[in-house]
């Protein structure tokens, strides 16, 4: 096999995959958390807005929902804008990893190259900003592995006994909380997820299974994932404060 002549090679493109097929069991309430309204818009609409603000940087943006999702059309009436490379994939899996895997298979089938970059971002992580996404892209663009936004721990870290008592205080200088987006090469991530299986809870874990070490890019505590009932009011407060700052 010969390498493609330089005239046939092209610069790697960037794709976005947004897994949006979870049920939100920990959040409680009626229906999946990504469709609940905060600060006047559905959670996933805030997420989409952050990526749409960087639209020229991405060749495609795919939202992956469950096959039986009957809400997305009403919740996001202006999605997908096909002319802007947006795509709705009704192929969520039983786990987040399976959903992302389905998205990558579809991306390859639609022409993405193995060397292209993909940014995977939780629909439920609706406070991400264009500046944070840009910081990840800049940090990873010349990296041989890729990386993820992550946050250093602000608190003392404990491990526990099965009875819920402290068993030890752990060193935390080398501990980070993994966030999204997570940015890797399409082919490498697909291979990694196929080898790692469905149990990994983020893309970086799958890449680690290959023996590689993703780059940690400092994010923000505000880029938290809406997971528990109290997260909705916190996320809303942050979004309203940002809006008030813009209005000043």
Ligand X SMILES: Nc1ccn([C@@H]2O[C@H](COP(=O)(O)OP(=O)(O)OP(=O)(O)O)[C@@H](O)[C@H]2O)c(=O)n1
Which spans of this chain sit near ligand LQXTBERG (rule: CB under 6 A)? 96, 122, 178-180, 201-202, 225
Q: Residue 65 — left, alpha, or beta (φ > 0 → left; ψ -120 to 50 → alpha)?
A: beta
195 binds ligand X (CB under 6 A): no
CB atoms near residue 21 (< 10 Å): 28
CB of residue 11 to ligand LQXTBERG, shortest distance in Å: 28
CB of residue 147 to ligand LQXTBERG, shortest distance in Å: 13
CB of residue 20 to ligand X, shortest distance in Å: 5
Name which of ligand X, ligand LQXTBERG, none residue 123 binds, using a CB cut-off of 5 to 8 Å depending on partner kind.
ligand X
CB of residue 238 to ligand X, shortest distance in Å: 17
Which residue has its beta carbon closest to ligand X?
22
Cis peptide bond prior to 181, omega within 30° of 0: yes
Smaller CB distance to ligand X: residue 115 or 206?
Answer: 206
Name which of ligand LQXTBERG, ligand X, none residue 119 binds, using a CB cut-off of 5 to 8 Å depending on partner kind.
none
Smaller CB distance to ligand X: residue 92 or 214?
Answer: 92
The string of DSSP codes covering the chain is -PPPPTTT--PPPEEEEEE-----GGG-SSS-GGGSEETTEEHHHHHHHHHHTTGGG-SEEEEEE-TT--SHHHH-TT---GGGTEEEEE---SSHHHHHHHHHHHHHHTT--TTSEEEE--TT-TT--HHHHHHHHHHHTT-SSEEEEEEE--S-EEEE-TTS-EEEEEP-TT-EEEEEEEEEEHHHHHHHHHHH-TT-SSHHHHHHHTT--PEEEE--TT-----SHHHHHHHHHHHHHHHHHHH-
Smaller CB distance to ligand LQXTBERG: residue 62 or 180?
Answer: 180
Q: Per-residue x/- marks for ligand X, 131-170, CB under 6 A? A: ----------------------------------------
Name which of ligand LQXTBERG, ligand X, none residue 202 binds, using a CB cut-off of 5 to 8 Å depending on partner kind.
ligand LQXTBERG
Smaller CB distance to ligand X: residue 28 or 144?
Answer: 28
Residues between 13 and 52 that touch ligand X (CB under 6 A): 19-27, 34
Give yes or no for a contact between 181 and 140, defined as CB atoms under 8 angstroms apart.
Answer: no
Residues that bind ligand X (CB under 6 A): 19-27, 34, 64, 92-96, 99, 122-124, 225, 227
């Amino acid at each position: 096999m010969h390498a493609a002549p330089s005239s046939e090679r092209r610069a790697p493109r960037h794709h976005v995959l947004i897994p949006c097929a979870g049920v939100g069991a920990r959040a409680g309430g009626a229906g999946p958390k990504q469709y609940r309204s905060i600060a006047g818009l559905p959670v996933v609409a805030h997420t989409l807005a952050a990526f749409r603000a960087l639209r020229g940087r991405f060749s495609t943006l795919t939202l992956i929902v469950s096959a039986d999702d009957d809400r997305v059309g009403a919740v996001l009436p202006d999605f997908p804008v096909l002319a802007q490379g947006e795509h709705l994939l009704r192929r969520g899996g039983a786990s987040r990893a399976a959903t992302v895997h389905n998205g990558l298979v579809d991306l390859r089938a639609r022409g993405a190259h193995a060397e292209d970059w993909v940014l995977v971002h939780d629909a439920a992580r609706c406070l991400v900003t264009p500046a944070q996404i840009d910081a990840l892209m800049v940090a990873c663009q010349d990296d041989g592995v890729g990386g993820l936004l992550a946050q250093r721990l602000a608190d003392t870290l404990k491990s526990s006994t099965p009875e819920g008592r402290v068993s030890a205080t752990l060193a935390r200088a080398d501990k980070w909380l993994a966030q999204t987006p997570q940015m890797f090469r399409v082919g490498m991530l697909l291979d990694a997820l196929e080898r790692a299986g469905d149990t990994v809870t983020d893309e970086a874990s799958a890449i680690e299974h290959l023996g590689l070490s993703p780059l940690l890019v400092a994010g923000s505590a505000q880029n938290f994932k809406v997971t528990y009932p109290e997260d909705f009011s916190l996320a809303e407060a942050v979004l309203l404060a940002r809006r008030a700052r813009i209005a000043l």
